[in-house]
A = this chain, B = another copy of it.
Amino acid sequence: MRKINIGIIGFGTVGSGVVKILRDKKSFLAEKTGIEICIKKICDKDLTSKRNVSIDKKLLTKSALEVINDPQIDIIVELMGGVHPAKEFIIEALKKGKNIITANKALLAQDGSELFALAADRGKSIYFESAVGAGIPIIKSLRESLAANSFSSIYGIVNGTSNFILSRMSQESCNFTDALNEAKKLGFAESDPTLDIKGIDSAHKLILLTYLAFGKMVSLKDVHIEGISQILPADIVYAKELGFEIKLLAIAKKEGDGLEMRVHPTFIPKTHLLSSVSGIFNAIYAESDLAGDLLFYGPGAGQMAAASGVVSDLIDLTQDIKAGLFRPTMNIVADKSIKRLCSIDDYKSRYYIRFMANDKPGVLAKISGILAKYGISIASVTQKERSRSHVVPIVMVIHEAEEKDLCSALNTIDRLDTIKEKSVAIRIEEV
């Protein structure tokens, strides 16, 4: 049986998951693929920590170049994360004629264009199934199975940490900090969870989904990004009363000749499938012209789920190599109906708004007066609680308004003496 040698750079959680699968399922995989996948070298800066697999010490090295320069290695699996030096390693590996598998969404979102171009130039492939949704086969489905489709929108719950926190807040009525601490305790959040809770990780993944679905590589700076740390348990309670769940959505959506790119907490109708995606689960909802509205759902994190995505790339690459020829991944073709990226200022939506106001007569009159000045029309108002601190939430749903008008109105309102905290506006999405 033909052997294909691989080198792994980054022997952390996912890396050791990959090693475990390749070892535990050696004969199963060989029988399925007709190829024996051999781990030739593994690089990590930390060679002493315990992993849940034991491996031959001779495979281990601290030198990534030793892996990349090994002429017997056909595939480099980059699982170290971070932009540098992962980028330099991948470039060097492509130049040495290796195919690449990576889970590095931050790197691909930033420098994907450059890396994909280099790979095409060298007749090699970069596979990245586990970069979005761990083991959910969304990358391959968009790139291959749905290649004949054009998309009008992609809605993703693609960050397990944020979704876990919001689900906890919804199910246990706890606040953001408690939910985040629980996520950390359970291993669902990093010690520094900034990228996750601020929506940046979701934006990285959205950029990759957009690249495949719309054929455009968008810069992170062109994605409107909001995180979830401002969400209060009260917002979730109000959302439920109004028939919604709050989810951190990553959205790419055609609007006329423009493409909206945004990540933000969103009210989704409870009747929509996405509203039922809880905990660390991820889901990608895609509206396509031929195959219709599709949903892909599964765990968005976890050692074996992510490793499953990596191994699926490995299997694809072994089949390509077995065929004896470079079989390029499908060409990415830009959606020619998209002429521009939309500005969030022009975005129109219904909104949920929470004001934190002094419980005094006349507050509501002032707020609604300012909204009216900006042409914003109120659909409903709720003011239930009375707190000892005399600061009460006033909750509104407004009819469709333009983002820039709403921002101006909220800036004015937030300067009122009676308003005690920055107001929170959450978009209501008609998925």
Contacts and interface: CB of A to CB of B under 8 A. Distances in A.
A295 B297 CA distance: 5
A290 B304 contact: yes
A137 interface: yes
| Copies per complex of this chain | 2
A38 to B, nearest CB: 16
A21 to B, nearest CB: 6
Contacts of A323: 320, 323-325, 327
A275 to B, nearest CB: 9
A264 to B, nearest CB: 24
A307 interface: yes
A7 interface: no
A interface bracket (residues with beta carbon within 8 Å of B): 35 or more
Given A25-B148, A330-B32, A291 B299 contact: yes
Contacts of A13: none
Given A148-B308, A325-B324, A137 B137 contact: yes
A144 interface: yes
A305 B330 contact: no
A345 interface: no
Given A315-B147, A315-B330, A292 B296 contact: no
B327 A291 contact: no
A312 B32 contact: no
Interface string A272-300: 01001100000100001111111111110
18 contacts: A32-B147, A32-B331, A33-B330, A34-B331, A129-B145, A144-B312, A144-B315, A147-B312, A148-B308, A283-B295, A291-B308, A292-B299, A293-B298, A293-B299, A294-B298, A295-B297, A323-B324, A325-B325
